[in-house]
A and B are shown apart, each in its own frame.
Chain A
């Protein structure tokens, strides 16, 4: 039921509250913006933008959290990545460690390497900052880990 057509329904939906007992232990914290996400975003849907990739990153603050390491999972993500974009992003936010600039051939069996990729992809979070369209300079703010990619009507 989502008939928001009548005012009565509207009031009901807007005012209803679901009370859930608070959990005493939280295993995780609010998810912020991952470099994996940055690797997947473009601004090419903007008017006048041809490639719009990669987006620039301006960081206000980042957070590092420990995430369980699964080498098989990381090996599956790597072919979907633009490696040079990930490397540059990690460099930009000072989390490069000694991640190699070139992707090694047999990374599936290189646990140390996969662990570094895991760290950069899933453990480093951008909390506040902005993403920047490389062609127009349009800034997309990231507040508390949520990038705001909405465009104005005159931008599409």
Chain B
């Protein structure tokens, strides 16, 4: 024992000590609160930064530059066979007709200048004319103003990403091209408007005509397959495990298994798709059916877990009431438990679907990364999905693809927001409290 023997403090002494310590302790308290605020501030500013950086690039991606030309639609040259069939139009001379109308405005001299002039208009111009003629053959033989997308380099130049000051040798477009573009601008031939291609175009190596329609439909088809497989299977499994399965060691293991499966990295599901669906069952690659099946495996645990939780949340009193009037177990489940648990199940399913919609890695492995121009017409046509399209575009070097990628991301995010909003509304609307 010490010499100055400790003694019990009186209330007054104690309160003096406490008073003296308060300022310091309050400061500490304020510090922790500030740390918390900083942490939330950081997280939210990351979020804002992410959105600003994507939207600032993506919104302009929905627009692009066009050049308007008066084109004489020469019947004989456009439709050499004269039967207005797609093949005939395909063999026609649309490209040079477009170029000739361009030359009329900018008057290129010599081969070199003409070569430069060819770079201005998108390679897609002839397809555009063929399509117009197919839609309305009466325009043949007339001279009408038509707008064409400009080439992506010209677009980037007009946006100011390719700078006039840069030495010609380091620019993607040379001085002659710039001279022509200036001339077109001076004649008011250049316009900036909502892109015809971003929402309705399909995959293309030329960024000015690339669009997300194919990928969007691919995503829809894939999600549909995923839903058709995962939802019934997931709900049926949940019902069985929750209501019928004997509670023993095996069901316990199964439960742990399903929980663990929800944590397995998504690439692993891609491997499974590759090894089993392609390797063993010999399914073709790149089709939405396969993508949907792989995503269904991935979302199955999520659906099972949330459905079981929803079933468990139905109060036993309701079941007892049904049993009490002589309903069988199955009738009780189908008439009372499932309708009450449905909002919870659907919410879980939508959340799982939203995950599936944003998933990329497993789909890369089952070949949905292939370059597919055609818009898929069914689940067995090769196709791609939005996230994979984003991944592919992000890899391309052309400046314009950065904007197009951001635009595609915006579409994907909007799609996701709709799904999540649907989940929230569903939960709010159908939620019952007991």
B partners with A: no
Measured CB to CB, the residues of A under 8 A from B are: none
